[in-house]
Structure 1
Amino acid sequence: MINYLLKSGMLLLIFYAVYKLWLENEKMFRFNRAYLLLSLVFSFVIPLQLISVRPLLGNTLSVIQLDGVVIRTSNVVLNNDNSEQLMISVLSIIYLVVVLLFTVQFFVNLYSFYNKTKINSKQLLNDVEVVLIEEPTLPHSFWNSVFINKEEFETGKIPLELIAHEKAHLKQKHTLDILFIEVLQIVFWFNPLIVLFKKAIKLNHEFLADEEVNTQFESVTRYQKLLLNFASNKNTIALASNLNYLITKKRLIMMTKKESRFKMTFKVLIVSIVCVLSLFVFSSETIAQKVKDKSDYDKMIVKDSNDCMDKQPEYPGGIEEFYKLVGMNFKIPAAVSKQKLEGKAIIEFMVERDGSLSEFKIVKDLGYGIGNEAIRAIKLSPKWIPGTKDGKPARVLYTMPITVQTEK
């Protein structure tokens, strides 16, 4: 899970940096909308490795399966320290509580729109349902309705340009984007990059709506003055497309900015290359199958041969010393002995070109913290003597079974 969150976070950071530095200032609003939404989708889907691709330039990874070690409770000291499990439980509870609070807030906001639509009078204006509400508010839109203060609407204080602005939000289905990012923010509330994407998406919505109004009324200067008149109103509605959202100098400049077809095409090409490279980097196939049992794992290992290596990595003192290191430092959690659990866990780790160990992964776990304890013991290893391939240091992926046997 931690590995998945790190990869998705890195992808979010890369995609957002590309948007902020490369796309945000360009008048290519429809492409930017698609880019921002797909960036969110790719960032959370690519790390799942639902589709794995071969590494670039045929750089296959050698995989070596170790014999592993057998841990017996009669030979080790039981670990009565449950602080790690307690910490995981506390963090899980905190996460679920925050998710619950955000979920309740989300549905309260949805109900508020439903309630406004039911209790207030409505009119049809230019094929748009206008809900007239009593409380002072800026024009805003949600789903298929525009919400406007009743008194201002009946006295003609709401210019047609502002209604057209909200109609553009409805026509382009911006509510769907907002609901999508809100759901992501509930699930990944701890990731601040989601908030940045949310702001970028909403601002891009305003660019799109502004463009629609200016195309219809052909009076940019008048429309800019209208926006500035409403900019002092800071009231915004959650989940809605709000007229005064981020009235900034950038937004006003965008209305008069000229397009460069060549520049836009070039930037789209570069962005496409970045996306393809991200797909290769974060979906490169090492072991792309899930392990159900030991026999399945043996069949899978045959696919990746280490015969092409000049020299395999070596543990200082020999592989038997590595087994001793892991066996002596492995502590069976107390819960395992109480449950009299037996079985085999499988751990992956990478021996890097400098001999250090990295990319620890639990391929198969027995539960009760066995997998995490195995990784902790393996991490105590000093640097290995790196392996070589074609005369150069090479990364090698190791798999190590940990067999647990408890007293009956």
Structure 2
Amino acid sequence: MEALFIYLIKSSGLIVLFYLAYFLMLRKETFFKSNRWFLLAGLITSVLLPFVFITKIIWVEPAATPINWSNVSMTNYTEEKTFEDYLPMLTALAYGIGMLLLLTKFAFDFYSLNTVLKGKSIQQQADFKFIDTNENVAPFSYFNTIVYNSALYTASELENILEHEKVHSEQNHTIDVLISRLFCIVFWFNPFIWLYKKAMLQNLEFIADNEATKKISDKKAYQITLLKITTHENCVAITNPFYQSLIKKRIVMLNKNQSKKWNSWKYALVLPVLVAFVFLFQIKTIAQEKTNENVSKSVPDVVTTINKNFSDEELKKKAEFFKKEFNCDLVFSEIERNSSNEITGITVNYNGNLYGNGTYKQHSNSTIKDIYIKHEGGKINISDAEIDPKIKNDKITSLSDKTLSIDKEIFINGEKVSQKDLDALNPDEIATMDVNKNKDKQEIRIITNKHAKTFNENEIYINGQKVTQNELNLLDQNTIDKMDVNKKEKTIRIVTKTRTQTFNDKDIPTPPVPPKFPDGPIPNLPEIDMSKMPTPPVHPANANNKKAIIQFKKEMKEFEAKMEAFEPDSSAHEKAIEDEMAKRAAIFEKQMDEYQDAMERYRESAVKK
């Protein structure tokens, strides 16, 4: 559940980012088609980018001493539930109820649409299906179906309306409408998604108006049709209705000069912010212990013995053991045997990228002496020199009965055991095994599969913060105060003495903070009085009143002249915004260069750590 909330928060943040980019830089440009793809790309990116992670591996020195769990106080307990414990469940419940209500509304809208379309006569023309209805609804399109009431409009008005709806149909604008509705259902808690949906629908109307007027000879008549349709308030949801509550904006955009092509650089401004999002929130840091830099620290010393009675199968098992444990190839050749099948001669070749290569030969008139193959300090040594006769030839005892004169202590799952207990342990049950030298004693610490599974199956928290298994392994044992295991919730909670996590590796450097795009006041657009827009004759009472129509056209002409007079002020305002944004972009680009240099230094220092 926590992962879902984090995902929704990240996606919501990206939705806000794309909406602000559109609102501040693109909504007044006439790149209508490009704006459509920008807004759709914003939704797709907000869904997919939170799944993209960059994995960063930090190599750390192996822990000097693994945690001895036998020395850590451990209690089983069940926490008393508080309001904070129920808060995630309540939040999930509220989110689910919101989605359910909106899905119900979505289904109802489909039902309403089906009611309008059901049983109607369809007229097929080319790729379009036309339905002439008697219902008092605003004209709309749904995929390739266009619905209208021809009784409410003149022939020229109907032509304008159909050209507009054909653009919606040809360019599949219904898909955009459905996508925006689905995003509103999933991200209903984010107020910006509703503004985002509104921006998408407005831009679709701008596209349809722009394309329709290219095919219509009388642009003014088209604008008059827009005003006339405002008298119809019945619209079907999930469709592209000809009527929208943005008639003034549509008329302004119809009379707006085409934006300069070089203004398209604004689309690229969102890319640095997306890069910053990835570096801030989408980097997974994985700590791994160094294994090859100093083999003697990570690979234990092992001695194995070969004698005259070894069969070919036993020699094969020895070779497999060294290959598995040390990635070292042992090859036994030129094997000679007497009548009793005892080895009288043998050649041993070894080759490993960490150990170099070499050859050992022993041939005798009787039988061979015992051969000792020893891995020590990252090197392979083969000889027939007499070594401690207690040495045995299996994985466990070769680690515990090495030729060491110092005392040793053996721990299995944190509990001290005897040599007898170690000999009785099944090698297949071993998950991890560490050999450490502490002063005058040697420690052998073994974790069995069953014990390791306990930690793998539970969520681990240190001082209330969830950590990974690697982070647990790096915890300094001496800082642990207590550890509580909650079997019901499958959690392990560790509290340290200082309430701060102490790890055996050096402090990981803090990554640099990416720059923010410079903000500040934007030049205000000179106000234009839209309140005096002419009101068309009320339909249908005055539709045939020629005097009223002539008066309306006269007033409309005066209004258009007023709009044209406003154009220089609007162009000057756009130029002021472009200059301001260009200055900010230059500052931001310089800051991004500095940030990238800082990130490069950070990555280099992180690798060194």
TM-score (norm 2): 0.46
- Percent of aligned pairs sharing the same letter: 27
Q: Which amino acid aligns with 1:79?
A: E
| Cα displacement string for residues 304-338 of structure 1 (whole angstroms, at most 9, x for unaligned residues) | 99x9xxxxxxxxxxxxxxxxxxxxxxxxxxxxxxx
| Cα displacement string for residues 86-137 of structure 1 (whole angstroms, at most 9, x for unaligned residues) | 3333333332233222222212222332343222222245652122333211
Q: Specify whether residues 367 and 133 from structure 1 end up closer, same or farther in structure 2 by C-alpha distance, changes over 3 A only.
A: farther
- Counterparts of 1:4-153 in structure 2 under 5 Å? 4-49=7-52, 52-53=53-54, 75=75, 77-81=77-81, 83-124=83-124, 127-149=127-149, 151-152=151-152
Q: Is the 8 A contact 1:28 1:264 kept in 2?
A: no
Q: Which amino acid aligns with 2:144?
A: N
Cα offset, 1:242, TM superposition:
1.6
For residues 166 and 261 of structure 2, the distance between their equivalents in structure 1, rounded to whole angstroms, comes to 31
Q: Is the 8 A contact 1:16 1:197 kept in 2?
A: yes
Q: Specify whether residues 110 and 192 from structure 1 end up closer, same or farther in structure 2 by C-alpha distance, changes over 3 A only.
A: same
Cα offset, 1:43, TM superposition:
1.1
By relative contact order (CA 8 Å, sep 6+), the higher-ranking structure is 1
Please give the secondary structure, in 2, of the residue aligned with 1:75. strand
Q: Specify whether residues 91 and 10 from structure 1 end up closer, same or farther in structure 2 by C-alpha distance, changes over 3 A only.
A: closer
Q: Specify whether residues 82 and 209 from structure 1 end up closer, same or farther in structure 2 by C-alpha distance, changes over 3 A only.
A: same
Match for residue 269 of structure 2? 270
For residues 284 and 291 of structure 2, the distance between their equivalents in structure 1, rounded to whole angstroms, comes to 11
Please give the secondary structure, in 1, of the residue aligned with 2:78. coil
Q: Is the 8 A contact 2:174 2:239 kept in 1?
A: yes
For residues 140 and 70 of structure 1, the distance between their equivalents in structure 2, rounded to whole angstroms, comes to 71
Q: Specify whether residues 362 and 65 from structure 1 end up closer, same or farther in structure 2 by C-alpha distance, changes over 3 A only.
A: farther
- Counterparts of 1:183-332 in structure 2 under 5 Å? 183-287=182-286, 301-302=288-289
Q: Specify whether residues 70 and 239 from structure 1 end up closer, same or farther in structure 2 by C-alpha distance, changes over 3 A only.
A: farther
For residues 12 and 87 of structure 1, the distance between their equivalents in structure 2, rounded to whole angstroms, comes to 25
Cα offset, 1:382, TM superposition:
5.8
Please give the secondary structure, in 2, of the residue aligned with 1:120. coil
Cα offset, 1:81, TM superposition:
1.7
| Cα displacement string for residues 262-300 of structure 1 (whole angstroms, at most 9, x for unaligned residues) | 43332234344544554555444535xxxxxxxxxxxx7
| Cα displacement string for residues 142-183 of structure 1 (whole angstroms, at most 9, x for unaligned residues) | 122112125336x74842111111111111101111111212
Q: Specify whether residues 362 and 199 from structure 1 end up closer, same or farther in structure 2 by C-alpha distance, changes over 3 A only.
A: farther
Q: Is the 8 A contact 2:60 2:290 kept in 1?
A: no
Q: Which amino acid aligns with 2:199?
A: A
Match for residue 295 of structure 1? none
Q: Is the 8 A contact 2:127 2:144 kept in 1?
A: no
Q: Specify whether residues 286 and 135 from structure 1 end up closer, same or farther in structure 2 by C-alpha distance, changes over 3 A only.
A: same
Q: Specify whether residues 164 and 282 from structure 1 end up closer, same or farther in structure 2 by C-alpha distance, changes over 3 A only.
A: farther
**Structure 2 unmatched runs, 5+:** 295-452, 470-484, 513-600
Q: Is the 8 A contact 2:11 2:46 kept in 1?
A: yes
Q: Is the 8 A contact 1:203 1:246 kept in 2?
A: no
Q: Select the structure that is richer in strand.
A: 2
Cα offset, 1:346, TM superposition:
5.3
Q: Which amino acid aligns with 1:95?
A: Y
Q: Specify whether residues 232 and 384 from structure 1 end up closer, same or farther in structure 2 by C-alpha distance, changes over 3 A only.
A: farther
Q: Which amino acid aligns with 1:244?
A: Y
The number of aligned residues is 332
Q: Is the 8 A contact 1:175 1:240 kept in 2?
A: yes
Q: Is the 8 A contact 1:33 1:204 kept in 2?
A: yes
Q: Which amino acid aligns with 1:169?
A: H
For residues 501 and 10 of structure 2, the distance between their equivalents in structure 1, rounded to whole angstroms, comes to 25
For residues 68 and 178 of structure 1, the distance between their equivalents in structure 2, rounded to whole angstroms, comes to 58
Cα offset, 1:194, TM superposition:
1.5
Q: Specify whether residues 383 and 85 from structure 1 end up closer, same or farther in structure 2 by C-alpha distance, changes over 3 A only.
A: closer
For residues 248 and 62 of structure 1, the distance between their equivalents in structure 2, rounded to whole angstroms, comes to 62
Match for residue 161 of structure 2? 162
Q: Specify whether residues 30 and 62 from structure 1 end up closer, same or farther in structure 2 by C-alpha distance, changes over 3 A only.
A: farther
Cα offset, 1:68, TM superposition:
7.4
Q: Which amino acid aligns with 1:243?
A: F
Match for residue 403 of structure 1? none
Q: Which amino acid aligns with 2:288?
A: I
| Cα displacement string for residues 49-96 of structure 1 (whole angstroms, at most 9, x for unaligned residues) | 2xx3478xxxx8677999779699963653122544433333333322
Please give the secondary structure, in 2, of the residue aligned with 1:123. strand
Q: Specify whether residues 78 and 45 from structure 1 end up closer, same or farther in structure 2 by C-alpha distance, changes over 3 A only.
A: same
For residues 65 and 192 of structure 1, the distance between their equivalents in structure 2, rounded to whole angstroms, comes to 49
Q: Which amino acid aligns with 2:101?
A: L
Q: Which amino acid aligns with 1:197?
A: Y
Please give the secondary structure, in 2, of the residue aligned with 1:286. strand
For residues 251 and 157 of structure 1, the distance between their equivalents in structure 2, rounded to whole angstroms, comes to 20
Q: Specify whether residues 41 and 61 from structure 1 end up closer, same or farther in structure 2 by C-alpha distance, changes over 3 A only.
A: farther
Match for residue 354 of structure 1? none
